[in-house]
Amino acid sequence: MTHYQRISGPNENFSKWNVACDFNNRNQDKTDIARSCKYINSITKKLERVTYAFEVLKLLPAEPLIKVISKRYLYDHYGNHVNLSLKQRENVRLALINSKIVNWYPMKLVTPNKTINSTPFFLNELGKYYYYNVFGFSPESVSLKFYRDKVVKNRLFSVEQLNILSKHYDNLGYDTKTGLYPFDLIVDDLHGFLLIDQHENTIGIEKRISEAIHQSRTRGILLYFPAMTPEMQRRISAVVAGILYNENRDKKYRPFSYVTYIESAICSGKNTFDWSYYITAPKNYQRAHIPETLSFPKTDIRENDFVSSSMRVLRNNKSYQQKVKQNFNIQYISGLNGKEIVPNIKVSVGIGQILSLWEELANNSEVILTGLCSNQILDSIGSYPRLLIVDGARNGADHLNTLDKFRKNGAQVLELHRNHAKAVLTDDKFLIHSMTTSKYAGNNIDSFAVIDFGEHKDRKLIKEKIYKLLYYFAMEQNENFKTELEDLRKIFQYKIELYPHFNCKVKDWDYFKRLSYLSRVSNSKLIIFSSHLSMKKLAKNCKFLVVQGTSRSDNHDCYMTAIKHGYAVIKRRLWHPRLIFNNEFVSTGSWDFSPIREQKELQMIIHTS
C-alpha cells in the first residue's frame, strides 16, 4: 500500500521559516542584514529591466493568472489601463520565474463547453519575504482586500450552499455526512466538498486543502471545490498549485484533478448542468484522469433570493425585503430567555441578527462600548449615550467623523487602544455582545447576553457599579475594576462573572484559566459557536464546534484536534458569535478564542446549574 504524507504549501513553509523573523528588525547580526539587502537588491535589479514586472508582482497574490491581471487590473502611472501584449506577458513571466520568487504549476480548467489553459503563478517562500520588504505590506493584505471587494453577501444560495448540497444528495438516496473537517460534506465516503470563503487567510485555506488532498489520496475521495466567484475559483487553483509544486519538488509527483463550479450555477435559471474540473498538465503533458462524479445539483432557489439582514440600509429597502426567503431570528441558549437566575435578576442569552436589540438598548443608554464606529450606526441612534468607549487605534475618516457626531450630541468619548469589547448599559439592563458597529452591523449572526436588573431593589446601585466598571475598563485601571466587580459578584450571588482583558497572554488571563477549569471539571462537553478557534485546550473538550472559517494556521490545528477526539466541526456563513456553553454554564463576549496580547476584551460567564 502506498504511504502518502501531507504536503505543506509555500504559505505554511514560510510561516515556519519566519517564526523567529521580525521584518522590522530581522536579525541583530549586521552581516545577515547586509546579505538580506544584497539579495533583495539583486532581485529588484532583475525586475527593473522588464516593464510592468513590479506591477504584475504586486497583484499576483490576488490574481494568479498574468493574462487576467493584464486584461483587467493593470494601469500605468497616469491611471490609464494597460493591456500587455503576448510578448510583454512572456517577458514579465520569465522575469518573475528567473528571479526565483515566483513558481507556477501547469493546470487546465475543463468546463462543460471548453478547455482553458489556466496555469496559476504564486509567490514561493522567498517571494513572500521579498514582497514584504519591497512593498512594505504583506501579500495577504492585497489578496484579502481584492476578494473582500468581490464578496457574495446575503445570497440564499451562498449562505445555505452546504445545506442545499446535503439535502439534494440525501433526497437522491446517498449517504451524507457533515462535521468531518477538513470536509464540509462527504457523500458516500467517496466525494468530499470544501466550501471556502473569500475572507479566509491563505495559510488557513492552504493547510485545510493540503489535509483534504492528503485524505483524498489515502481514502480515495474525489475533491469538490465550490467557488463564490471566478476570482475565488482561480485563487483556490493557486493554493492547490502551490501544494502540488512542493510535492513535485520532493519527486513524489502524481497526476491530480478536482471538481469545481461557481456556486450560483446550482440556481434555477442558470444554464449550467454539469461540473467543471481543474486537471494537472505535468511535464509529459498527460492529463490527470477525471474520475466518476456525482450528478450536478440544481435547486429551485433563484440567484437573487436573499437571506435576512437587520442592517438598516437593507432593512429599509423594500425591493430587498421582497426577495428575502430566510430569516435569522434570535434563538435562545440553554433556556435563558428572561430566566431569573437569582432573585429579581433575569438573564437572556442567544444568537441571531441582533441590531434591533442593540438599537432598543443603545438609545437612551448610559454607556456604549464598541470598537470601530462607522457612520451607518448613526442611523440607529436617536438618543445619544452618556459615555461612548471606542477603539483608539482606529484613525479612518469615517470613524473619526462618527465620534465627532457623538461629541456634538453631548456624549463623552473615551478612546481605548485596540478595544474589541462590545457592551451597552441602560438604567435597568446590561448587554454584552459580539456585533460590530461597522458598516456590516446587523448583517451577521451574533451572540449576546442581557442582564435585566430592573426589578432588583438595588437597581440604581447595580447600574452605577457597572458604569464604573466600564469606565475603569476604558481607563485600563484593572485593580479598580476588580474592586467594583467584587460588590457586583456578591449581588449576583456569584452566578454571573465578568472578566476584562487588558494586556497579557491568553494563558495568563483569569478568564481563560477559569474557562479551562470549568471545561475540564464539567460533566458535559462544550458546544462552541465562534468565527474561529485557536485554543487547543478548548478544542479537546468540545463535542460540537461551529465556526465561520479557517483563517489562521492554528485554526486548522484546533479543528483537526477536535476531529481527532471524535467531535464535529461545522462551518457556517454569516456566522459571528462568540459563545461557549454546556449544561452547567454559558459564556459569551467579544473574544473570538484567538491568541491575543494587547487587544481589549470583555467576557461574561453565567452559571446555569
pLDDT digits (tens, 9 = 90+) for 50-109: 999 999 999 999 999 999 999 999 988 888 899 999 999 999 999 999 999 999 999 999
Three cell numbers, residue 543: 463535542
Confidence of residue 37 (pLDDT cuts 50, 70, 90): confident
What is the structure's pLDDT at 440? 87
- Report the alpha-carbon distance of residue 531 to residue 551 in Å, rounded: 10
Q: Which residue is it, cell 544584497?
A: 38
0.85 surpassed by pTM: yes
The pLDDT of 176-189, averaged and rounded, is: 98
Same domain for 416 and 504, yes or no, is yes
Range of the domain at 66: 25-131
Same domain for 164 and 127, yes or no, is no
- Phi first, then psi, for residue 452 (nearest 5°) are -105, 110
State yes or no: pLDDT of 19 exceeds 60.
no
Nearest to 576 by CA among 589, 586, 565: 589
Bigger pLDDT: 252 vs 84 = 84
- Report the alpha-carbon distance of residue 273 to residue 266 in Å, rounded: 8
Among 250, 280, 310, the domain-final residue is 280
Is 252 part of any domain?
Answer: yes
Q: Residue 588 is inside which H or E element, if any?
A: strand 585-589
Same domain for 164 and 77, yes or no, is no
Share of the chain above pLDDT 70, in %: 94
- Report the alpha-carbon distance of residue 592 to residue 578 in Å, rounded: 6
What is the structure's pLDDT at 21? 46
Three cell numbers, residue 545: 464546534
Is 208 part of any domain?
Answer: yes
What is the structure's pLDDT at 28? 45
Same domain for 336 and 415, yes or no, is yes
What is the structure's pLDDT at 77? 83
Is 143 part of any domain?
Answer: no
Is 305 part of any domain?
Answer: no
State yes or no: pLDDT of 381 exceeds 80.
yes
pLDDT digits (tens, 9 = 90+) for 502-555: 999 999 999 999 999 999 898 899 999 999 999 999 999 999 999 999 988 999
The pLDDT of 559-576, averaged and rounded, is: 95
How many other C-beta atoms can be found within 10 angstroms of the C-beta atom of residue 146?
Answer: 17
State yes or no: pLDDT of 251 exceeds 60.
no
Ranking 76-90, 155-169, 469-483 by mean pLDDT, the lowest is 76-90
Same domain for 509 and 566, yes or no, is yes
Same domain for 75 and 164, yes or no, is no
The pLDDT of 431-458, averaged and rounded, is: 96
What is the structure's pLDDT at 294? 97
State yes or no: pLDDT of 475 exceeds 60.
yes
Among 98, 131, 164, the domain-final residue is 131
Q: Mean pLDDT, the chain, as a whole number?
A: 92
303 burial level (CB within 10 Å; 0-12, 13-18, 19+): middle
User: DSSP assignment of 505-548, as one string?
Assistant: -GGG-HHHHHHHHHHHH-SS-EEEEES----HHHHTTEEEEEES
The pLDDT of 27-51, averaged and rounded, is: 78
What is the structure's pLDDT at 252? 57
Is 589 part of any domain?
Answer: yes
Same domain for 361 and 259, yes or no, is no
Long-range contacts of the stretch 124-130 (C-beta < 8 A, 24+): 124/10, 124/100, 124/242, 125/10, 125/13, 125/14, 125/17, 126/100, 126/101, 127/10, 127/101, 127/102, 127/103, 128/10, 128/11, 128/14, 129/14, 129/18, 130/39, 130/40, 130/43, 130/101
Same domain for 375 and 471, yes or no, is yes
What is the structure's pLDDT at 591? 97
The pLDDT of 242-271, averaged and rounded, is: 87
Confidence of residue 147 (pLDDT cuts 50, 70, 90): confident
Nearest to 609 by CA among 587, 590, 585, 591: 585
The pLDDT of 367-378, averaged and rounded, is: 95
State yes or no: pLDDT of 374 exceeds 50.
yes
Same domain for 161 and 258, yes or no, is yes
Residue 22 CA to its chain's centroid (Å): 25
Share of the chain above pLDDT 90, in %: 81
**Contact in structure between 466 and 368 (CB atoms under 8 Å):** no
31 burial level (CB within 10 Å; 0-12, 13-18, 19+): exposed
Rg of the chain on CA atoms, in Å: 26
State yes or no: pLDDT of 231 exceeds 90.
yes
What is the structure's pLDDT at 306? 95
Same domain for 106 and 213, yes or no, is no
Number of structural domains the chain divides into? 3
What is the structure's pLDDT at 22? 44
Same domain for 498 and 580, yes or no, is yes
Is 15 part of any domain?
Answer: no
What is the structure's pLDDT at 392? 95
Q: What share of the chain is helix, strand, coil (3-state, %, to 5)?
A: 40, 20, 40
The pLDDT of 168-174, averaged and rounded, is: 97
What is the rounded end-to-end Cα distance, in angstroms, of the chain?
A: 52
Same domain for 81 and 187, yes or no, is no
Residue 187 CA to its chain's centroid (Å): 26
What is the structure's pLDDT at 23? 41
Is 107 part of any domain?
Answer: yes
State yes or no: pLDDT of 29 exceeds 60.
no
How many other C-beta atoms can be found within 10 angstroms of the C-beta atom of residue 248?
Answer: 18
What is the structure's pLDDT at 180? 97
- Phi first, then psi, for residue 291 (nearest 5°) are -80, 175
Beta-bridge mates of residue 429: 452
Is 110 part of any domain?
Answer: yes
pLDDT digits (tens, 9 = 90+) for 585-598: 999 999 999 999 99
State yes or no: pLDDT of 211 exceeds 50.
yes
Among 131, 147, 178, the domain-final residue is 131
- Report the alpha-carbon distance of residue 419 to residue 403 in Å, rounded: 15
